[in-house]
């Protein structure tokens, strides 16, 4: 039996050989330095914040070099696939403005290097596995799961390195005759790489993020094709990234230790090895130790969390960019008018260890971002959020559209805009008292002046003798001063500070009484604007309610 026939027996019914695929996917015609990279999730439908971070870096790297960013679905572990998982991933990323030039789309594959879903590439992987078998660089293994786990037990008892290598690689030297016999007997098998590595030797490479790296060579005969005929990640990665002409494999840090394995596949197949960039994880402090943000433990691990919370996607991306390159914040400060897209990301400025996920900082960025939006934009985003998560409130926003926009417009579009909204799920909480439907005459936050008679006196005089809805802000303020002085309060803070004993209090006590009477809250945006929006009739009703 020739080696070709032998390979055919092990992986039958393959139409094409490796050479065929080499010709099918020619080099890309791109300019020098263009980065071709990909996002390669399993179709679980779940986008982890760490994955979003990596996808963002990958997409930006491709964009800023006029390269290609494509989506490849890694579904060879069928247990991890869910229906509609791919669409969910595409939608979630699109919300963060991460779009693909090529690969899997909702309408099918786009691009000349497909199929882009691994389960549809079974024949391709097998063609390359066959090539390795023919060249005696791969072999079938009949060891059962039980045998392997027994071996692992012995290895750990003897404090030996775990794995299928050296004397533990039991099927490595089976004779062709024995293999043929066992295959004909219907025994199940997988295909393993015949490793040429030596664990005691060092394998060195340059990681784009971590720099010069040194790991032990791989001597494990790891599986490349599983018993269901599908490839392992290790094998599929090499074939796909070779045929799709990926220049940079940008991926999570957890794959870093596998580089010797992966490089071995590239080399044994005669492929050019791509550049690797391992992105360090986002960390959290947990009981004094640092750990990766976890899908199981942390709600903020899922990107859906940010949608529910109503943190604008742009704010999340700005935050991730500050994590990616610490000089981004400074750049933004110095380039206020520029689009953050113009910032050039640099692998060398990325953290090599891991970065603490700073939720407070994210919220701060979100607050600043929202404070710079126009009132109408805030309205639209608040409405969009409420329509999904708070329908009653959405109805109010729709019913009182112009009024709501005016509320959002208070202290907006000025040098120091108001920063009360940190995320959109908090909007109702910030402005409920402006809607009669939500206003409840309770929990009044009276401050210095608590005496009912005094409160009544201030409010009555103010409404009957002073307030005029046509006053401009200065007149309004001067009247407030006059009222304060008439009732024995200091009209300005300087007088009050010099002689506090001469007064019952000062102008802020007066305005506080009015503020609390109208809104029940002691902290609100500009009182003058609030009064104008409430209008005289509603103000009178609110005062009546407060006095009861
Ligand atoms: N499917 C792998 C993962 O989700 C992809 C890693 C890679 O980008 O190569 O971790």
**Measuring from atom 1 of ligand 1, which residue has the nearest CA?**
41
Q: Which atom of ligand 1 lies closest to the CA of 237?
A: 9
DSSP at 205: E
Q: Which residues contact 530 (CB under 8 A, 6 or more apart)?
A: 410, 434, 515, 518, 519, 524
Nearest 5°: CA angle at 150, between 146 and 154?
170
Return the closest-CA partner of residue 261 out of 347, 196, 353, 354: 196
In this structure, are residues 310 and 386 in contact, taking their beta carbons and an 8 Å threshold? no
- pLDDT confidence of residue 45: 79
Decide: helix, strand or coil at residue 2: coil
Q: Angle 473-486/507-519 helices, nearest 10 degrees? A: 110
The alpha carbon of 40 and the centre of ligand 1 are apart by a number of angstroms equal to 5
Residue 68 confidence (pLDDT) above 80? yes
This prediction's pTM: 0.90
CA distance 533 to 434: 8
Decide: helix, strand or coil at residue 216: strand
Question: pLDDT digits over 254-279, tens only?
Answer: 999 999 999 999 999 999 999 999 99
| Average pLDDT of span 105-132 | 97
User: What are the residues facing 212 on neighbouring strands?
Assistant: 206
| Average pLDDT of span 284-293 | 92
Find out whether the peptide bond into 115 is cis, omega within 30 degrees of 0. Answer: yes
- pLDDT confidence of residue 84: 85
Tell whether ligand 1 has an atom less than 6 A from the beta carbon of residue 248: no
Question: pLDDT digits over 5-25, tens only?
Answer: 999 999 999 999 999 999 999
The alpha carbon of 231 and the centre of ligand 1 are apart by a number of angstroms equal to 14
Q: Which atom of ligand 1 lies closest to the CA of 38?
A: 8
Decide: helix, strand or coil at residue 120: helix
Q: Which atom of ligand 1 lies closest to the CA of 254?
A: 10
CA distance 466 to 63: 61
| Average pLDDT of span 518-542 | 96
Which pair of tokens denotes residue 286?
């947990």
CA distance 548 to 545: 5
Tell whether ligand 1 has an atom less than 6 A from the beta carbon of residue 74: yes
The alpha carbon of 31 and the centre of ligand 1 are apart by a number of angstroms equal to 26
- pLDDT confidence of residue 80: 67
Question: pLDDT digits over 134-168, tens only?
Answer: 999 999 999 999 999 999 999 999 999 999 999 99
CA distance 468 to 44: 61
The alpha carbon of 445 and the centre of ligand 1 are apart by a number of angstroms equal to 54
- pLDDT confidence of residue 64: 96
In this structure, are residues 54 and 39 in contact, taking their beta carbons and an 8 Å threshold? yes
Question: pLDDT digits over 168-202, tens only?
Answer: 999 999 999 999 999 999 999 999 999 999 999 99
In this structure, are residues 270 and 242 in contact, taking their beta carbons and an 8 Å threshold? no
In this structure, are residues 430 and 421 in contact, taking their beta carbons and an 8 Å threshold? yes
Per-residue pLDDT band for 489 (boundaries 50, 70, 90) equals very high
Give the helix/strand (H/E) hosting 277: strand 275-279
Question: pLDDT digits over 293-328, tens only?
Answer: 999 999 999 999 999 999 999 999 999 999 999 999
- Average per-residue pLDDT in the chain? 95
Residue 78 confidence (pLDDT) above 90? no
The alpha carbon of 116 and the centre of ligand 1 are apart by a number of angstroms equal to 14
- pLDDT confidence of residue 108: 94
Pairing of β 282-286 and β 289-292: antiparallel
Tell whether ligand 1 has an atom less than 6 A from the beta carbon of residue 59: no
Residue 428 has φ and ψ, to the nearest 5°, of -60, -45
Per-residue pLDDT band for 454 (boundaries 50, 70, 90) equals very high
DSSP at 466: I
Domains of the chain: 122-279 (3.40.50.620), 375-434 (no CATH), 452-547 (1.10.10.350)
Pairing of β 108-110 and β 102-105: antiparallel
Q: Which residues contact 96 (CB under 8 A, 6 or more apart)?
A: 52, 56, 303, 313, 316, 317
The alpha carbon of 83 and the centre of ligand 1 are apart by a number of angstroms equal to 19
The alpha carbon of 44 and the centre of ligand 1 are apart by a number of angstroms equal to 12
**Measuring from atom 10 of ligand 1, which residue has the nearest CA?**
41
Tell whether ligand 1 has an atom less than 6 A from the beta carbon of residue 231: no
**Measuring from atom 3 of ligand 1, which residue has the nearest CA?**
41
The alpha carbon of 409 and the centre of ligand 1 are apart by a number of angstroms equal to 45
Tell whether ligand 1 has an atom less than 6 A from the beta carbon of residue 42: yes
Tell whether ligand 1 has an atom less than 6 A from the beta carbon of residue 237: yes
């Amino acid at each position: 039996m020739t080696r070709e026939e032998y390979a055919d027996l092990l992986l039958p019914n393959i139409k094409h050989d490796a050479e065929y695929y080499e010709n099918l996917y020619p080099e890309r015609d791109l300019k020098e330095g263009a980065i071709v990279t990909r996002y390669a999730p399993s179709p679980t439908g779940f986008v982890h914040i760490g994955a979003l971070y990596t996808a963002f870096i990958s997409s930006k790297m491709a964009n800023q070099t006029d390269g290609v960013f494509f989506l490849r679905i890694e579904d060879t572990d069928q247990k991890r696939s869910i229906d509609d998982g791919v669409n969910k991933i595409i939608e979630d990323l699109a919300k963060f403005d991460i779009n693909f030039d090529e690969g899997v789309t909702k309408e099918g594959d786009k691009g000349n290097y497909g199929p882009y879903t691994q389960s549809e590439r079974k024949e391709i992987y097998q063609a390359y596995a066959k090539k390795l078998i023919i060249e005696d660089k791969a072999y079938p293994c009949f060891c059962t799961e039980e045998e392997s786990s027994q071996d692992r037990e012995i290895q750990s008892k003897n404090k030996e390195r775990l794995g299928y290598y050296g004397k533990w690689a039991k099927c490595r030297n089976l004779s062709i005759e024995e293999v043929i016999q066992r295959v004909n007997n219907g025994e199940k098998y997988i295909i393993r790489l015949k490793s040429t590595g030596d664990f005691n030797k060092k394998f060195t490479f340059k990681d784009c993020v971590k720099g010069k790296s040194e790991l032990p060579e791989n001597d494990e005969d790891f599986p490349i094709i599983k018993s269901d005929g599908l490839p392992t990640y290790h094998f599929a990665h090499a074939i796909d990234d070779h045929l799709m002409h990926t220049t940079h494999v940008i991926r999570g840090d957890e794959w870093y230790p596998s580089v010797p394995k992966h490089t071995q596949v590239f080399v044994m197949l005669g492929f050019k090895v791509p550049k690797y960039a391992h992105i360090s994880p986002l960390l959290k402090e947990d009981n004094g130790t640092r750990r990766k943000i976890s899908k199981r433990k942390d709600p903020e691990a899922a990107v859906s969390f940010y949608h529910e919370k109503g943190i604008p996607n742009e704010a999340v991306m700005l935050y991730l960019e500050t994590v990616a390159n610490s000089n981004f914040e400074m750049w933004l400060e110095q380039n206020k008018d520029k689009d953050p897209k113009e910032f050039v990301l640099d692998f060398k400025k990325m953290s090599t260890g891991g970065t603490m996920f700073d939720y407070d900082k994210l919220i701060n960025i979100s607050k600043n971002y929202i404070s710079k939006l126009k009132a109408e934009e805030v309205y639209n985003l608040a409405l969009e959020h409420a329509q999904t998560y708070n329908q009653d409130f959405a109805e109010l926003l729709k019913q009182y559209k112009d009024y709501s926009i005016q509320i959002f417009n208070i202290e907006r579009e000025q040098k120091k805009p108001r920063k009360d909204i940190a995320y959109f799920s908090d909007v109702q909480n910030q402005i409920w008292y402006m809607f009669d439907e939500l206003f409840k005459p309770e929990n009044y936050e009276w401050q210095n002046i608590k005496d009912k008679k005094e409160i009544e006196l201030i409010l009555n005089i103010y409404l009957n003798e002073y307030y005029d809805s046509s006053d401009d802000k200065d007149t309004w303020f001067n009247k407030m001063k006059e009222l304060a002085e008439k009732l024995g309060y200091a009209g300005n803070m300087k007088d009050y500070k010099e002689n506090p004993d001469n007064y019952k209090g000062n102008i802020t006590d007066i305005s506080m009484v009015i503020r609390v009477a109208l809104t029940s809250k002691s902290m609100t945006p500009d009182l003058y604007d609030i009064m104008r929006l409430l209008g005289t009739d509603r103000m009178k009703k609110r005062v009546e309610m407060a006095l009861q």
